[in-house]
């Protein structure tokens, strides 16, 4: 397999003794019994045969999974590393993520879905991971929301993640011949 994508949106908890990140369906007193330690997910990712691994964590304290460039000597940061991986998190290591009242999605997931759905005006044909991160960071900062974190190994950030939908719409507007005139082939009578 070429690329493995793991997307988790849920509760993130810190172990009281070790400060490790745990992923669970709900906040619980004893995270060790009701959730999965990120270190276990990381171990499975290391075993995965995919050349590139993308991990997106939308939960409180998720920054604990992202190795910051400034902390490369940090033991916790080194433990988070997975060769060929790109980890993007919804919040810094000691900060809660945000699920705004009245909004359908969390702040992070909402911005990510908007970017994927609408694309990036004047952006490249393919949105790579670094571009997605940069746009999310800019938009969340503009709304005074928790800032995402990231770490990457072996230049995975240049990996094209999705087609830029804004660019595709622009191309269709410029080229009228690219628009179907009578619907898809399975709908045509003839």
Q: Indicate whether 44 belongs to any domain.
A: yes
Q: Indicate whether 185 belongs to any domain.
A: no
Q: Structural domain tally of the chain? A: 1
pLDDT at 68: 36
Q: Indicate whether 123 belongs to any domain.
A: yes
Higher pLDDT, 15 or 106: 106
pLDDT at 98: 93
Stated pTM of the model = 0.79
In this prediction, residues 109-128 reach a mean pLDDT of 95
Higher pLDDT, 33 or 161: 161
Residue 47 belongs to domain spanning: 3-174
Residues 6 or more apart whose Cβ sits within 8 Å of residue 62: 12, 21, 89, 90, 91, 97, 149
pLDDT interval class at 190 (50, 70, 90):
very low
The pLDDT tens digits for 44-81 are 998 999 988 999 999 999 998 875 333 444 444 454 55
Q: Indicate whether 111 belongs to any domain.
A: yes
pLDDT at 70: 34
Query: In the predicted model, is pLDDT for residue 8 greater than 70?
Result: yes
Top mean pLDDT of 1-15, 37-51, 101-115 is at 101-115
Q: Indicate whether 108 belongs to any domain.
A: yes
Q: What average pLDDT does the structure give for the chain? A: 82
Q: How far apart are CA 130 and CA 115, in angstroms?
A: 13
Q: Indicate whether 181 belongs to any domain.
A: no
Nearest to 151 by CA among 50, 74, 43, 40: 74
pLDDT at 83: 66
Query: In the predicted model, is pLDDT for residue 127 greater than 60?
Result: yes
CA 170, 174, 179, 181: dihedral to nearest 10 degrees? 150
Q: Indicate whether 82 belongs to any domain.
A: yes
Q: Indicate whether 190 belongs to any domain.
A: no
């Amino acid at each position: 397999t070429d690329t493995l994508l793991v997307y988790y949106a849920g509760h993130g908890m810190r172990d009281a003794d070790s400060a490790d990140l745990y992923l669970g369906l709900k906040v619980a007193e004893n995270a060790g019994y009701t959730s999965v330690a990120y270190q276990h997910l990381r171990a499975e990712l290391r075993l995965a045969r995919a050349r590139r691994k993308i991990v997106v964590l939308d939960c409180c304290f998720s920054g604990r999974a992202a190795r910051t460039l400034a902390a490369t000597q940090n033991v916790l940061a080194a433990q988070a590393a997975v060769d060929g991986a790109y980890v993007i998190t919804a919040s810094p290591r000691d900060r809660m993520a945000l699920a705004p009242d009245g909004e359908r999605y969390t702040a992070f997931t909402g911005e990510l879905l908007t970017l994927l759905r609408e694309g990036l005006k004047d952006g490249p044909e393919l949105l790579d991971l670094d571009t997605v991160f940069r746009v999310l960071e800019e938009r969340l900062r503009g709304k005074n929301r928790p800032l995402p974190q990231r770490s990457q190994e072996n230049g995975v950030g240049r990996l094209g993640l999705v087609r830029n939908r804004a660019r595709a719409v622009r191309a269709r507007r410029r080229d009228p011949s690219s628009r179907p005139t009578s619907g898809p082939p399975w709908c045509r009578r003839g």
